[in-house]
Amino acid sequence: MNLSEIFPPEGVILDFKGSGTEDSLSRIVDHLVENGLLEEELKEKALSALLIREESMSTAMGDGLAIPHASLPGLTREVGSLAISPEGVPFAGPEGELVHLICCMLIPPARKILHVRTLASLARLLVRPEVREALLGAKTPQEVQDILTGAESKA
């Protein structure tokens, strides 16, 4: 599955604002529900799964990047949101560094192997400064989609 499929334009949040890890994840899950990417009945379980994952080990990776992810029973396909914050949001991670890109993924339990591959692909793309800079400068969700598609084709 391509990253552009996991992070569709409806899942993109431009000019994202959050006041911490829990608030940011709550806003992202709300966005997924409001945009029809996640069923309302899975909302609380999704947030809980993401927070439990963060408590066990932060998904902030440095360089202004966090990739919160969790397995979610009841989910039938991968669901993702890319929250872009030019100003940065506080997110539990290395030395209190602000996070500018939050790539949130929820996956069905039966697809864990694909999930690991997707995380690796995402990390390989977002470790590249030019990709992160392009995403931070994106003005529309479609532009974000185009950046992901272009970066994947060059990977």
Q: Whole-prediction pTM value? A: 0.93
Helix (H) or strand (E) segment spanning residue 126: helix 112-126
Rounded to whole angstroms, the Cα distance separating 155 from 96 reads: 30
Q: Where are the domains of the chain?
A: 3-154
Q: What per-residue confidence (pLDDT) applies to 137?
A: 97
- Reported as a single tens digit per residue, the pLDDT across 93-118 is 666 789 999 999 999 998 877 777 88
The rounded mean pLDDT for the chain is: 92
Kindly tell me if the per-residue pLDDT of 7 is higher than 70.
Answer: yes
The HSE-up count of residue 33 (CA atoms within 13 Å, CB side) is 15
Q: Considering only CA atoms, give the Rg of the chain.
A: 14
**Helices 43-56, 21-34: crossing angle, 10 deg rounding:** 150
Q: What per-residue confidence (pLDDT) applies to 81?
A: 98
Kindly tell me if the per-residue pLDDT of 56 is higher than 70.
Answer: yes
Taking alpha carbons only, the member of 74, 68, 85, 72 closest to residue 112 is 72
Q: What is the mean pLDDT of residues 5-14?
A: 95
Q: Is-contact 68 25, C-beta < 8 A? A: yes
- Work out the number of other CB atoms within 10 angstroms of the CB of residue 46: 23
pLDDT > 70 in the chain, percent: 96
Banded model confidence at residue 1, pLDDT cuts 50, 70, 90: low
Q: What is the mean pLDDT of residues 33-57?
A: 97
Q: What per-residue confidence (pLDDT) applies to 123?
A: 84
Higher pLDDT pick, 144 / 3: 144
Q: What per-residue confidence (pLDDT) applies to 133?
A: 96
Q: What per-residue confidence (pLDDT) applies to 154?
A: 78
Please state whether 113 falls in left (phi above 0), alpha (psi between -120 and 50) or beta.
alpha
Q: What per-residue confidence (pLDDT) applies to 116?
A: 78
The HSE-up count of residue 136 (CA atoms within 13 Å, CB side) is 17
Q: What per-residue confidence (pLDDT) applies to 61?
A: 87
> Which CATH number is 3-154 given?
3.40.930.10
